[in-house]
Chains A and B, each alone.
Chain A
Amino acid sequence: DAGITQSPRYKITETGRQVTLMCHQTWSHSYMFWYRQDLGHGLRLIYYSAAADITDKGEVPDGYVVSRSKTENFPLTLESATRSQTSVYFCASSVGRNTIYFGEGSWLTVV
């Protein structure tokens, strides 16, 4: 049972470059989420998706783009990376509201 996987796990990129973080889940969960974790801020919601082709903004969506053409995939794209987007990114999924499962995280450094 692979669960929820994120790739890449670690990435260093330059300011201005486009970066895509991938998220794949094997459970066919309808809901998927992207959070970023920064010291002193906890986790903040970037985008979420209730189903394929349905996405919505979270608390901090600026500078990010998401898509969900298939239920199992929810990629997050930084169109033009900035240093302020250096963070740990967590993908998550859920089928109901009682348990949300988190991926292992993607560590992104923008230099």
Chain B
Amino acid sequence: ELKVEQNPLFLSMQEGKNYTIYCNYSTTSDRLYWYRQDPGKSLESLFVLLSNGAVKQEGRLMASLDTKARLSTLHITAAVHDLSATYFCAFSDSGYALNFGKGTSLLVTP
């Protein structure tokens, strides 16, 4: 069974703080995706991680992939209110369809 587990599912953090969202997936995957979704909106692609040890950064977000541990992380540095959203990780085992986690709802408060 293809499973993706994200944790935490809900996260409230203060502005300026750091935090990490974890994504475990159940089977061999050659790529891992992170998406952002604002309330009532579509999904926006953040990162695609293609190999073991891959690290990508965009602004205050940094994603990494450990294929041996079947683990990806999304690290938030010095959070700001604009980062409040729901973050999804997804993996593709070999084909084109993605298997999504349940999402992490992030709220950044002053």
Q: Chain A: residues with CB nearer than 8 A to chain B?
A: 31, 33, 35, 40-45, 48, 50, 58-59, 90, 94, 97-105
A59 to B3, CA, bound (A): 11
Chain B: interface size category = 20 to 34
A94 to B100, CA, bound (A): 16
Query: Interface majority SS on B: helix, strand, loop or mixed?
Result: strand
Min CB gap B43→A, angstroms: 4
Q: Given contacts A97-B31, A99-B48, is CB(A42)–CB(B97) below 8 Å?
A: no
**What chain B residues lie within 8 Å of A31 (beta carbons)?**
96
**What chain A residues lie within 8 Å of B41 (beta carbons)?**
104-105
**What chain B residues lie within 8 Å of A43 (beta carbons)?**
43, 88, 90, 98, 100
Q: Chain B: residues with CB nearer than 8 A to chain A?
A: 4, 31, 33, 41-43, 45, 48, 50, 88, 90, 92, 96-103
Query: Interface majority SS on A: helix, strand, loop or mixed?
Result: strand
Min CB gap A99→B, angstroms: 6
Min CB gap B50→A, angstroms: 8
**What chain A residues lie within 8 Å of B101 (beta carbons)?**
42
Contact A42 B45, beta carbon cutoff 8 Å: no
**What chain A residues lie within 8 Å of B103 (beta carbons)?**
42
5 closest Cβ contacts across the A-B interface?
A: A42-B102, A43-B100, A42-B100, A102-B43, A102-B42
Q: What are 9 A-B interface contacts by the 8 Å CB criterion?
A: A31-B96, A33-B97, A42-B101, A45-B99, A58-B97, A59-B99, A100-B33, A101-B45, A104-B41
Residue of chain A at shortest CB distance from B4 = A42
A103 to B37, CA, bound (A): 12
Contact B96 A50, beta carbon cutoff 8 Å: yes
Q: Given contacts A90-B43, A98-B48, is CB(A42)–CB(B88) below 8 Å?
A: yes
